[in-house]
Amino acid sequence: MLTTRQNLLEVIKGGNPDRFIKQYEAFKIVGGDPVGANNPRATKGGPNIIDNWGVTRSFPANVPAAFPVHDEEHKVVKDVTKWKEVVKAPKLDYPESDWQTLKANAEAVDRNEYFCTVFRAPGIFEQLHHLMGIDSALMNFYEEPEAMHELIDYIVDWMLRYAELIVKYAHPDAIFHHDDWGSQISSFMSPEMFQEFIVPGFKKVYGYYKANGVQLIVHHSDSYAANLVPYMIEMGIDIWQGAMSTNDIPALIKQYGSQITFMGDIDNGIVDREDWTYEKIKEEVAKSCKRCGKLYFIPSTTMGLPESLYKGVYDAVNDAIDEMSKEMF
């Protein structure tokens, strides 16, 4: 029997896996770096907080996650041509002793069995719209492209310096990076605009990781982004996590499978619900596994971490994937 790590490599290389990878099981996500640890986080039902980029975040009790507050009072960037006056990236110059928790957590991972994985969020596009609001970000691509390019370069430079520290102290096998690029049915940007503004920065960041020992880039975008897959490949993404069923994953596997693997196809909106049942989850997992097949595909909910909104759903999906492994392998 293959180790979990070996099995994943067989899946993404089009080899001979002996079972389905169950969602995130191949990735041991390690934390403990001081940049993340010292970034204030909103708690459910708690007061608003201001994060280290100056973004005000709210987490009402009746919503699944925190979100930026973008009324005129709270926007960090009100005029993108003046971004230099208001945007200040978080500090990275923590003493070496502050990085020892991350280092120890990474060293504890059994790398024969798993990929030691560092989680990073937000990405370039999300950081832009967190600072100014998504409507303003999208309009500024048209109206103020020069200023947007400058701000992106500033964000990417910070991301690269952060990446250098992650590599130094964790030596990760994989990076799991978030940046949502669309709704359920469409990308937020045209492919041409995406190529101009988003692709170059991620090529630098992901290229740095790949040049410094990182084997896999796993990118989360729980959205429609089928029209952006060629650019994902250009960026160096190995696994697109969060790929919703609206992308027609079987068609994408057929066209791009030898170049990128798709992790998802089990939409949270269908299975991760208050009224969930194992039978419904089993039905959806079976449909997904049968239509997508054994190679270049990891059955998973589209959730951006190994968890679910409703207790028991994540584990139930894993159990259903186990059943399909018995049936199809």
Total-model pTM: 0.97
- Given phi > 0 = left and psi -120 to 50 = alpha, else beta, which region is 215? alpha
**262 vs 237: CA distance, rounded Å:** 10
Residues in CB range of 79: below 8 A, 6 or more apart: none
The backbone region for 133, taken as left when phi is positive above 0, alpha when psi lies in -120 to 50, beta otherwise, is left
Residue 63 has a pLDDT of: 86
pLDDT at 290: 98
Domain boundaries, the chain: 4-328
- Nearest to residue 46, comparing CAs of 61, 65, 63, 56? 61
Nearest-CA neighbor of 35 among 163, 147, 148, 145? 163
pLDDT number for residue 64: 84
Pick the CATH number of 4-328 from 3.90.800.10, 3.20.20.210, 1.20.210.10, 3.30.930.10: 3.20.20.210
Sign of the Cα torsion 323, 264, 303, 282 reads negative
What is the spatial distance between Cα 195 and Cα 177, in angstroms, rounded to a whole number? 18
What's the sign of the alpha-carbon dihedral 46, 47, 49, 55? Answer: positive
In order along its 329 residues, the chain shows pLDDT tens digits of 999 999 999 999 999 999 999 999 999 999 999 999 999 999 999 999 999 999 999 999 988 889 999 999 999 999 999 999 999 999 999 999 999 999 999 999 999 999 999 999 999 999 999 999 999 999 999 999 999 999 999 999 999 999 999 999 999 999 999 999 999 999 999 999 999 999 999 999 999 999 999 999 999 999 999 999 999 999 999 999 999 999 999 999 999 999 999 999 999 999 999 999 999 999 999 999 999 999 999 999 999 999 999 999 999 999 999 999 999 99
108: left (phi over 0), alpha (psi -120 to 50) or beta: alpha
Residue ranges of alpha helices (H) inside the chain are 4-13, 34-37, 100-107, 124-132, 134-143, 145-170, 191-197, 199-211, 229-235, 249-256, 268-271, 278-292, 313-328
